[in-house]
Amino acid sequence: MLSTEAARFLAAAIAVIALYGVGTSMGNLFSTWLDAIARNPEAADKMRPTGMLGFALTESIGLFALLIALLILFK
């Protein structure tokens, strides 16, 4: 049977798994964004707000996952 501390560590580790998805999707987001800008440099100004919005939303998921993990660890 798990102790309370071990269960907290396990729950925090599970909560941090979302950071893997965040890193993967950020890499994919910026890879395709830079590829699109390289293909059509004139449209870079139109694509910048959409890219930054995607970055902010993806990063917020990572921050929420990290916050949940820290709340589980230090409660």
For residue 37, give the nearest of 48, 28, 26 by alpha carbon.
Answer: 48
* pLDDT of 1 over the 80 cut: no
Q: Which two tokens stand for residue 28?
A: 């994919």
Q: CA torsion, points 19, 22, 28, 31, in degrees to nearest 10?
A: -90
Summarize pLDDT for 16-65 with one digit per residue, the tens. Answer: 898 898 889 899 989 999 999 999 999 899 999 988 998 899 899 999 99
Which pTM does this prediction carry?
0.74
Please state the domain count of the chain.
Answer: 1
No. of helices (H) and no. of strands (E), the chain: 3, 0
For residue 35, what are the domain limits? Answer: 4-73
Q: Which two tokens stand for residue 22?
A: 């965040």
The enclosing domain of 19 has a CATH number of 1.20.20.10
